[in-house]
A and B are shown apart, each in its own frame.
Chain A
Amino acid sequence: MKRNASRKTGLLTAGLAVYLLLVLWGSTGWFPKSWQQVPSRMPIYQYSPPSREHPLGVFFQQDLLITFVRSTQASFVAGTIALLPFLALGTLLGIASGLPAGFAQALANRTIDVLNAFPRFVVLLLYTGLFAANLYHMLMLYGLISAPKLAELLRGRIDQLRREDFIDSCVALGLPWWVIVRRHILWHHSRHLILAQTFAMFAMAIFMEASLSYLNLGTREHYQSWGLMLNYATSVSGLSLFRFPLSAQFNLPAALPALGLLSVTLLLVSLSRYWEQQDRLKMGRMF
């Protein structure tokens, strides 16, 4: 048991360390001067191999390592921007739709139905067509329109828990409903579910950011993206996306976001397993 726990704690620490390192590095924007100095006469899509000044080489007139870190930052920003409205609206709708029948419940249920009625990607394209394309706004919108996924799961959980005796007992002992929802339902019985949805959403947001960038939707001045690199790869160099394997330099920008995503996944999975193990111990179950 002890060995198992230490392995999980190790995973948690490793995930947290990689995550913090990438986010901090990306957010500070600090890089050695030698990395930032690129020969100006170099053709735009020529790849220069690794050297002492540029550990991963140069491509698109940029140091590849800088590109990697910035693209990681872009991915994390994308994930976080989509995640916040997703969690806020999803939890709110889930709680409201799990309440006893009434106006709030009906409103929440109809909102979920309406949001579910439209394909998410089409809504994003419509938004781009109607308003100026801004990647941040689009990712926020993506978070909002994905919220029903979380809300429906929470509604089911609340429906199930409302039949449990200990919830009846809480009501009978006069605990306010928001305390019951926050403490007894959300935190102690639904946190695995919220966590699982969180990392699924994080990955989906990064994928969506890459897809939108590939389609040249959104502002892309300040950072690089996997989707944007692939777009360059297909348009500038004339490579087909379906011709595999693509040159390493076109796929490498995906490496760090993927590593970052892996670290987040490790972090969340470890946390989920840790909670699961704790809950099992609390319930007195060995398996």
Chain B
Amino acid sequence: MDLMVEGVSIALQRGEELAYPARRISFTVKPGEFLGLVGESGSGKSLTMLALLGLESCSPGVVEGRVRYRSEQGQLYPLEGLSHYVRWHGGLPRKRTAAWQRTVYRRMKPLLGRRIAIILQDAHKTLNPFLRIEDQLLEMVARQGRADAEKAGWWGRWRQRRSIHQQLRQEALRLLKALHFRDPERVLRAYPHQLSGGMAQRVSLALALASRPEFIILDEPTTGLDVTLQAALVDLIRQLKQERRLSGIIVSHDLMFVGKVTERMAIMFSGELWEIGPTHNVIHPDFPWKHPYTSYLLSFARQKRRGSAGPAFQNVLWQRPKQGCPLRKSCPVYLHQLDMEQRRQCDSADPSPVPVFPEHYIRCWQYAWEEQKHAAGY
């Protein structure tokens, strides 16, 4: 059960302007592994995750790249040919939206809620306010045994409706107990507004886990949770990884939280991936190779800059320079540490990912120069 994302770009059109909230995103999530996607708000993390499942709401949306998912049984679910639905007219994409949506629906139907589950931001809002938790949870639990139920036929289902309901309820109670609810019966009877932030978060996790997925995407799971609930969530995710052999992606702006539960981490800013590597390397303060933006994020996370904004990296989503590194105008390394020759190179071309360690890539010219020196025998 691995997910392969290859060169996915998402476009967003505003009049005659075109921006890329996600540009040439590539990564792989291996079986049993969690990848953390970290970046500040507005860096395109959530949109990228939605786009992987064909759920992005922006127009024209995905314009290039492909996503492949290999299940536990080795079946390959390709979401290829995304760009097939896009025609370019004068530099602007025109997407055949209806055909695209039909294709996505057809291709994602066997995956969504069965093999892959996604939990969206703000757990309270993702629960239907008019339905009891029981109704929402049983709806998802019932989908798991849908094949058996369909064999019984509608008359069989109608005759056994009480026992089926009881079975589903027991399954839902087991699930809630596994998620450390003290009184699952009470939770089942509750409406979403009667739950606290942490409880709502765990209920939405229960909804996602109800259909026993192999792969799970958590979008900002710590929003609105205090530190104790965050710690509980860390334990829960670790436990699920061990018990269910789950793989997944955790999208968050909380570097430290993601550092506790993932094996690999990707740093995203302004719609692009700048660094991807083992979590320990990325967040360790003494690891020598870091992207300037990662160092910037880490300095905030470790509260060195508490109280002062400092020179911030500028989001260049709508004002991306036509050539050169898009972050250079606000990069402290470019502004304070490079000589004229090196600056000229930063101005001239976009950096490519450079391997600095096994499975650790950074997109920055300073490591490209180091690699060139290394190759030249210095």
Within 47-105 of B, Cβ neighbours of A (below 8 Å) are at 50, 53, 55, 57, 97-98, 101-102
Closest to A278 in B: B130
Contact A174 B211, CB 8 Å, known A165-B122, A189-B130: yes
- Segment at the interface with A among B33-41, B110-118, B171-179, B222-230: B110-118
B residues touching A (Cβ–Cβ < 8 Å)?
Answer: 50, 53, 55, 57, 97-98, 101-102, 109, 111-114, 117-122, 125-131, 139-140, 143, 191, 193-194, 204, 207-208, 211
Which residue in B98, B131, B191 is a CB contact (below 8 Å) of A284? B191
Return the chain A residue nearest B131 by Cβ. A188
Q: Once the chains are docked, how many angstroms separate the CA of A166 from the CA of B130?
A: 11
Residues of B within 8 A of A101 (CB): 97-98, 101
B118 touches A283 (CB 8 A): no
Contact with B along A258-285 (1 / 0, CB 8 A): 0000000000000000000001001110
Q: CB distance A173 to B130 under 8 Å? A: no
* Overall SS of chain A's interface: helix
Cα(A166)–Cα(B126), bound, Å = 4
A282 touches B129 (CB 8 A): yes
- Nearest CB in chain A: distance from B75 CB, A: 16
Q: Do residues A173 and B211 form an inter-chain contact, with CB atoms below 8 A?
A: yes
On whether the beta carbons of B128 and A188 are closer than 8 Å, the reply is yes
A188-B130 contact, Cβ under 8 Å, with A101-B98, A283-B193, A284-B194: yes
Known: A103-B98, A175-B143. 18 other contacts (CB 8 A): A100-B97, A166-B125, A166-B128, A168-B55, A169-B119, A169-B204, A171-B112, A172-B55, A172-B117, A172-B120, A173-B140, A173-B208, A175-B139, A183-B139, A283-B130, A283-B191, A283-B193, A284-B191
Classify chain A's interface size: 20 to 34
Check if A283 sits within 8 Å of B101, measured CB to CB.
no
Known interface pairs A165-B122, A169-B120; A174-B113 also in contact (CB < 8 Å): yes
Rounded to whole angstroms, the CA-CA distance of A188 and B117 in the bound complex is: 24
For residue B61, give the distance in angstroms from its CB to the closest CB of chain A. Answer: 12
B120 close to A168 (CB less than 8 A): yes
Nearest to B96 among chain A residues (CB) is A101
Whether B98 contacts A169 by the Cβ 8 Å rule is no
Inter-chain contact total with CB atoms closer than 8 Å: 82
Q: Is the CB of A102 within 8 A of B98?
A: yes
Q: Looking at A100, A165, A184, which has the most chain B CB atoms within 10 Å of its CB?
A: A165
**Contacting A174 at CB < 8 Å: which of B98, B109, B121, B191?**
B109
* Distance between A279 CB and nearest chain B CB, rounded to angstroms: 6
Closest to B217 in A: A172
* Complex Cα gap A100–B104 (Å): 13
Sample of 6 A–B contacts (CB below 8 Å): A101-B97, A101-B98, A103-B98, A166-B125, A172-B53, A172-B112
Interface residues of A (CB under 8 A from B): 100-103, 164-166, 168-175, 179, 183-184, 188-189, 279, 282-284
Decide if A174 touches B114 in the complex (CB within 8 Å): yes
- Determine the distance from Cα of A285 to Cα of B50 in the docked complex, in whole angstroms: 32
Interface pair B128/A175, CB less than 8 Å apart: no
Contacts of A283 in B (CB 8 A): 129-130, 191, 193
Q: Which residue on chain A has the smallest CB distance to residue B124?
A: A165
Chain B residues, Cβ within 8 Å of A179: 139
Shortest C-beta distance, A71 to chain B (Å), equals 41
CB neighbours (8 Å) of B130 from chain A are 188-189, 279, 282-283
Q: Determine the residue in chain B with the shortest Cβ distance to A285.
A: B193
Q: Which residues of A contact B204 (CB under 8 A)?
A: 169
Smallest CB separation, A180 vs chain B (Å): 10
Bound complex: CA A184 to CA B121 (Å): 19
Given contacts A100-B101, A173-B112, A174-B112, contact A168 B126 (CB under 8 A): yes
- Distance (Å) between the CB of B209 and the closest chain A CB? 11
